[in-house]
Structure 1
């Protein structure tokens, strides 16, 4: 989700002294130069969703059943399916007797009768399948089929995606730190090369001659590296884009990148529709990343980062080029004032506050713990819903495309309302609405159980609505968190939130793969309960619209939180532990 970087990186990169002077130096904060470079950066934002959601197609689970025990060349055809159903498929009573913890559907496709049924009234023992037959009418070949990652082996599928989200966490920490130390442009270049290498490793690393075990390990490592590189591109790319514009343009920058993010989803589903084997799709998607490796030659380093590191000559060269392209004069006097201000800032720089500062006083503890839960809940909901479009009981390619379209509409909608209604009301409304809609699954399934067509259409409408609410609340919480943490510990707080959020994404993957085996709608109901609790818990947050960003923990303590109050003694304890205001620029 691209707007995540709006939180994680704009604050980190905006701690440069002399921010306003730097804007004056560029003379035109949204000139021709910035527009052209911004387009290139936005194009890179098509890559992360492609890499995240390729898994929805390469590891899709087609319809399947047990292999017919008396047939060598069994196939998933109407005739063979009918023969299997008649003689070997367990009945509901047999599933209830032997595999009552699984749904009937899961039991019937993962177990078979030990011997052909002669008397249907007799309850027979069941045994797990020793082989599977897959439907190839939609997917020609997926990793699930190749490695039989179904039934009692579904954990292999889940583990790969969980490792991917662990790679997200590691990549965010590693490349975020590297971008601050070595520059945004360099990290983007390294990330694209790593992405290309890991992509080809995903496509060609697993080979039959290596065996399933070795192929699985190779693929898992490649996916981990792919996730790391994805975070390097998205984080560094957003920083680079946001540092080219005025602070008042940063919301626009974040939302436009979200639009390109959804464009990547449309590109993916288009390619997946024509490339229906997992290896060919992975290979072509990786080929698509090769031109982006040359963006290193096109994109400049961030002049703000260069100034923050005291590399004034390099920054001046870039700024003079920007002014020339924008057909403006370079303000040398303003730049000299900027250099003096930054040198003073470097001299006065203090050691950043640590994680313990997030729990220093009552109000900051409440906000911190609540935001941790909000991030976990929204990652659980968003990734859980986004990765389950294949279970919408419609064509999976159409379902994915509609999901991306709904996500785009959600971004446009919140782009319109956030600066009008604030952050708190829309966020709570979308989170609570998601919870209520998800719980509607229970009465809908029970009332319309016999009306299959009506149930199918209504469930599709519910899934679309859930996707809209999940996308909207997921995007808002990132921006909202930026405005709730004080500048003195904002980067630390948001980094911890991001870590917690990835745990939510991992739980979402686990829920879709395991809980759905018990009941198809179990994950949706779980997501709904968590989102409902999150929406109610967010009511304690203050509104931040048109209010100055909190600079210190003392500023947070002065906020009015519903149901909670502060006292002067707590605020006094936090004084003296904050970064001087002159060293902070939000």
Structure 2
């Protein structure tokens, strides 16, 4: 639950309330309310003609709240440097404290974009460290880093320090938070999937997604009752304290222990799992698995490392394709999730509805993935997302502008987009985990997560900047990217009911692009059946 809380806290601490330029004639007493707004509009708000003439690349709304007119006769527009903010929903936000609006909106964007750079760094760094030192210690270190950086985020920025020192401290703290979320999310997801058998992998993967949605709902409760940014950040940091003791609870991945040749420790974990679940530990199956792993470890081509992801043509194509899929799905998911301001609700209702729709998407994925596989649902959701996003064009241009019917249909479209984005996002997480071999699974997932942040960065930039041109412009970009990703995903092999691949050789034996020949076609042997049975030893 912690990663989504940390990701989306910024949506409230740096929320952009309605605002306008401060009235020069009422500098000391001006407020954002109907009375003062009317006085401002009468004397200083630019007309639509003036905006069209001087700021034609900005939307009318953006022009009228970022500029002052000199007079009705003189069409010159003046940039304002002081603003008044609507306090209907927020008492104080970082947007107001640091004036991160209009020509300073890039400061807001950079905080979130650097946050996703932290995602990139944390994904590859903690992914490699988790493959080298284990899932359990890296998760524990990540929890500690998250707690410390959350406190720095809360108490580091101070008005007495001025803008730049406070801004740098806040950005650095958010960067470290992002790094820690990757150590928790990627390692936790891999650990969960490696500790169960094939029949339980979907449940393990989707439960993690459920808690991603639950984390957003918990954040919503905090944000609804705490409407000042510093107090909210401090309250969220307190929420991390219990996780510091997770090291005493978490087991190490038995698959990772076996892949490292630590067979006694792996056997101990497996025996404990079997005992807790009422199963008898199969010593003969474990010995066979042990001998297989010794043989794999003796082969130079199966040594772990990033190079293993590009060891063969098939593995290279799968890896690069997965990297692209993650980039697109993060572009789509975070782009849509951070754009709830386009919904026709108050910010808290919009965020709550978005989280509920996301949870609904995970429930649907959970119910169908073990029936029809991974590839067909993933491609279907991605294509449907593209189709629904393109519906925005006729709705905006053929229906009455800002009419009730248009608002209702746009809310339906926004909800559908969030549902489809959440569903495809959940599937690619599970799908990628089942395509990477064990000895580089955490590394592969880490690189996927790292590359994915490029998509999240593009989504953040689009939401903050392209919406100034047209609020629905970013969604059309997401739709085009989703369609391309769906077409490329058609080449993936299906992984339904298949044991997790232990090596690159196992991946190569999958039905890649359905291109089978007498030479490459995989024949299910007695050894394959034994491996599947040994895989079933590890179950909850």
Same structural fold, with TM-score higher than 0.5 when normalized by the shorter chain = yes
Contact 1:191–1:230 under 8 Å retained in 2: yes
- Counterpart residue number, 2:420: 469
In the alignment, the residues of structure 2 paired with residue 186 and residue 101 of structure 1 have an alpha-carbon distance, to the nearest angstrom, of: 51
Q: Which residue in 2 is equivalent to 1:274?
A: 225
Partner of 2:337: 386
- 1:14 maps to none
Aligned residues: 523
Q: How does 1:208-227 map to 2 (within 5 A)?
A: 208-227=159-178
Is residue 111–residue 174 contact of structure 2 (8 Å, CA) maintained in 1? yes
Helix, strand or coil: the match of 1:561? helix
Match of 2:524 in 1: none
Asked if the contact 2:131–2:443 (Cα under 8 Å) also holds between the matched residues in 1, the reply is no
Aligned to 2:23: 68
CA contact (8 A) 2:199 2:497 kept: no
Matched, 1:57 2:8: no
Equivalent-residue separation in structure 1 for 2:142 and 2:507 (angstroms): 38
Partner of 1:200: 151
- Output one character per residue of 1:76-114: Cα deviation in whole Å (capped at 9) or x when no partner: 111111111111000111001111110000001111113
Q: Distance in 2 between matches of 1:303 and 1:357?
A: 22
Residue of structure 2 equivalent to 1:454: 405
Q: Tell me how far 1:533 sits from its aligned partner.
A: 2.8
Q: Partner of 1:296: helix, strand, or coil?
A: helix
1:398-417 superposed matches below 5 A: 398-417=349-368
Shift of 1:325: 4.9
Confirm or deny: 8 A CA contact 2:385 2:420 kept in the other structure.
yes
Distance 2:296 2:252 in 1: 21
Moved more, 384-393 or 504-513: 384-393
- How far the C-alpha of 1:242 sits from its partner, in A, is 2.8
Query: In the alignment, which of 164, 182, 186 is matched to residue 235 of structure 1?
Result: 186
In structure 1, the partner of 2:54 is 98
Give 3-state SS (helix, strand or coil) of 2:90's partner: coil
Question: Residue in 1 aligned with 2:132?
Answer: 181
**Counterpart in the other structure of 1:425:** 376
Residues 32-75 of structure 1, C-alpha deviations (whole Å, 9 max, x = no match): xxxxxxxxxxxxxx111111111111111000000111222321
Distance 1:500 1:333, change over 3 A: closer
Alpha-carbon offset, residue 213 of structure 1: 0.5
Shift of 1:280: 0.8
Alpha-carbon distance, 1:191 to partner: 1.1
State the match for 2:463 in structure 1. 512
Work out whether residues 486 and 556 of structure 1, in 8 Å CA contact, stay in contact via their aligned partners in 2: no
Q: Match for 1:397 among 348, 362, 372? A: 348
In 2, Cα distance between the equivalents of 1:330 and 1:538? 39
1:365-407 alpha-carbon deviations (Å, 9 max, x no partner): 6555544432222111100001111331311111111111111
Q: Residues of 1 paired with 2:315 and 2:254: CA distance?
A: 34
Listed as ranges, the gaps of 5+ residues in structure 1 are: 1-45, 573-581
Of 86, 89, 99 in structure 1, the residue corresponding to residue 42 of structure 2 is 86
Q: Is the 8 A contact 1:364 1:556 kept in 2?
A: yes
Question: Is residue 2:430 matched to residue 1:479?
Answer: yes
The answer on whether the counterparts of 1:255 and 1:415 sit within 8 Å (CA) in structure 2 is yes
- CA positional deviation for 1:547: 6.0
**Structure 2 counterpart of 1:18:** none
Q: Which residue number in structure 2 is paired with residue 110 of structure 1?
A: 66
Distance 1:393 1:234, change over 3 A: same
1:94·1:123 contact (CA, 8 Å) conserved in 2? no
Q: Distance in 2 between matches of 1:485 and 1:192?
A: 26
Counterpart of 2:2?
A: 47
Q: Is the 8 A contact 2:190 2:441 kept in 1?
A: no
Q: CA RMSD in A?
A: 3.2
Give the Cα–Cα distance (whole angstroms) in 2 for the partners of residues 314 and 489 of structure 1.
20
Counterpart position of 1:376: 327
**Secondary structure at the counterpart of residue 465 of structure 1:** helix
Aligned to 2:527: none
- Asked if 1:164 corresponds to 2:128, the answer is no
SS in 1 for 2:20: strand
Relative to the length of structure 2, the TM-score reads: 0.87
**Secondary structure of the corresponding residue to residue 190 of structure 2:** helix
Question: Any conservation in 2 of the 1:355–1:492 contact (CA below 8 Å)?
Answer: no
> What secondary structure sits across from 1:73 in the alignment?
coil
CA gap of 1:425–1:567, structure 2 versus 1, over 3 A, is closer
Q: Decide which of 241, 250, 253 is 2:204's aligned counterpart.
A: 253
C-alpha contact 1:557 1:566 (8 A) present in aligned 2: no
Structure 2 unmatched runs, 5+ = 522-529, 536-540
